[in-house]
A and B are shown apart, each in its own frame.
Chain A
Amino acid sequence: DAKTTQPTSMDCAEGRAANLPCNHSTISGNEYVYWYRQIHSQGPQYIIHGLKNNETNEMASLIITEDRKSSTLILPHATLRDTAVYYCIGGSARQLTFGSGTQLTVLP
């Protein structure tokens, strides 16, 4: 799995877009970028994944740079319930290697 680097913590105002960066400069050509989040004391929740193209679903958008060395998860209108640890993982679904993630705090 690719090593990923994420900021330890971020704050975002409620109703604004939350942009969470991730660096995965060692990702190989066939490895995906996965994003999960974990709300306190719950299991991780799948958000989105992508290979090369930008992806969007009902939860978030994933923007992957052309060289695939970094990506940004975008929560378009953050709510208080989006406060969680967000994990960026570079690899395959069969072997998710979680790092320490980014603690996102949405402020009222």
Chain B
Amino acid sequence: EAEVAQSPRYKITEKSQAVAFWCDPISGHATLYWYRQILGQGPELLVQFQDESVVDDSQLPKDRFSAERLKGVDSTLKIQPAELGDSAMYLCASSLRANTEAFFGQGTRLTVV
């Protein structure tokens, strides 16, 4: 069964350092999402791509977060500099098209110390 791949699975970083997460969506899925999930809460959308283009980044803290999907396949989410409040699970999801069901990866658990 096809899956969304994410790496690393866990990441510990010091505050003010840079950190990056990688996501490989299900093959053929044009739409890719990054979500953030703080412990005890539901996931919140950070950014949505349609192929290589950003279609919604209204909830992305652009002063420190950036996301790219250069060739419209895999994607990278970067935080620079990391802050203590960024500790969370970062989830990637993909869907065949923008309005079809999304499938999630296992996430990257970030701890900022």
* Chain A positions near chain B (C-beta within 8 angstroms): 34, 36, 41-46, 49, 87, 92-101
Is the beta-carbon distance between B105 and A43 smaller than 8 angstroms? yes
Given contacts A43-B107, A44-B91, contact A49 B101 (CB under 8 A): yes
Measured CB to CB, the nearest residue on chain A to B40 is A100
A-B contacts, CB under 8 A, total: 50
Chain A residue contacts of B56, Cβ below 8 A: 94-95
Binds A, one of B14-22, B42-50, B62-70, B75-83: B42-50
Chain A residue contacts of B87, Cβ below 8 A: none
Is the beta-carbon distance between B102 and A46 smaller than 8 angstroms? yes
Distance of A32 Cα from B91 Cα, bound (Å): 22
Chain A residue contacts of B42, Cβ below 8 A: 87, 98-101
Given contacts A44-B43, A46-B102, contact A94 B31 (CB under 8 A): yes
**Smallest Cβ distance from B109 to chain A, in angstroms?**
8
For the complex, would chain A's binding face be called helix, strand, loop or mixed by DSSP majority?
Answer: loop
Distance of A36 Cα from B101 Cα, bound (Å): 10
Is the beta-carbon distance between B43 and A98 smaller than 8 angstroms? yes
Measured CB to CB, the nearest residue on chain B to A44 is B104
Chain B residue contacts of A94, Cβ below 8 A: 31, 48, 56, 95, 98-99
Judge if B7 is at the interface, Cβ distance under 8 Å: no
Given contacts A43-B91, A44-B91, contact A92 B99 (CB under 8 A): yes
Chain A residue contacts of B4, Cβ below 8 A: 43
> Which 10 pairs between the two chains have the least Cβ-Cβ distance?
A98-B42, A43-B104, A94-B98, A44-B104, A43-B107, A98-B43, A43-B106, A46-B101, A93-B99, A43-B105
**Smallest Cβ distance from B17 to chain A, in angstroms?**
24
